[in-house]
Amino acid sequence: MSVIIAPSILAADFGNLQRDCEMVNNSKSDWFHLDIMDGVFVPNISYGMPIINKINEVATKTLDVHLMIIDPERYIETFKNVGADILTVHYEACPHLHRTIQHIKSKGIKAGVALNPHTPVNVLDEIISDLDLVLIMSVNPGFGGQKFIESSVQKVSKLKKLIESKNSDVIIEIDGGVNLETGKKLAEAGASALVAGSFVFKSDSPTETIEKLKQL
Ligand code: DX5
Ligand code: ZN
């Protein structure tokens, strides 16, 4: 099965948001990746509901929402209303992770957990069977265009082993510094979904770049 490609809208041209969303619709990509930052959990603020509503209006593909916010539980209903199909919260932002995951699933949304680069995969041992997706951050969250942390490839292998030991079919998604070179290593290590921001939107032909990623 080919890898799922999720272009990160953070790197799109917000002056031409509709055009860039239509490019994603018409490309070989699978999902829209939406990065929500609160300026507290991460040192940056991205975009909020008016923009997400617009993306939802135009997008014809799965909305994969990555919440880099504290107490994400407060916003689960809101994100359901703006069309989130997958809602991923950070392990580091959720003291009651099991409750938060059940809350997301009770709304009929797929639930994911993201791990910062310093967080080991084994913290998910007791919850992995409840998840639809694990997101491994291969940069420190907060900004697009950062350098890929090489040890993330090994982390994917470790996560794959953990998932296999539980006979689960959780999606392994990677976010940060993905390009053809890092993407290939990640796909070989067991990644099933790749997020790519700058590499797609700053390229001469985003559509062709997506096609190349899709062939990994
Ligand atoms: C970083 C975000 C990423 C970001 C990826 O906090 O979660 O989704 O947009 O950007 P690139 O692909 O440019 O590293
Ligand atoms: Zn992201």
Query: pLDDT band at residue 92, thresholds of 50, 70 and 90?
Result: very high
Residue type, 7: P
Q: 17-33 pLDDT, tens per residue?
A: 999 999 999 999 999 99
Q: Is any atom of ligand 1 closer than 6 Å to the C-beta of 195?
A: yes
Average pLDDT for the chain: 98
| Residue from 5, 9, 10 whose mutation best tests the ligand 1 pocket (most atoms within 8 A of CB) | 10
Q: Is any atom of ligand 1 closer than 6 Å to the C-beta of 177?
A: yes
Provide φ and ψ at 68, rounded to 5°.
-105, 65
Q: Is any atom of ligand 1 closer than 6 Å to the C-beta of 191?
A: no
Distances (CA, A) of 111 to 80, 85, 101: 12, 9, 6
Closest by alpha carbon to 109, among 59, 60, 73?
73
Closest by alpha carbon to 71, among 35, 32, 110, 103?
103
Q: 93-151 pLDDT, tens per residue?
A: 999 999 999 999 999 999 999 999 999 999 999 999 999 999 999 999 999 999 999 99
Task: For residues 100 and 111, give the distance between their C-alpha atoms in angstroms, rounded to a whole number.
Answer: 9
Q: 36-64 pLDDT, tens per residue?
A: 999 999 999 999 999 999 999 999 999 99
Both tokens assigned to 136: 């491994």
Which atom of ligand 1 lies at the shortest distance from residue 198's CA?
13
Q: Is any atom of ligand 1 closer than 6 Å to the C-beta of 8?
A: yes
pTM for the full predicted model: 0.98
Which atom of ligand 1 lies at the shortest distance from residue 200's CA?
12
Both tokens assigned to 206: 């985003």
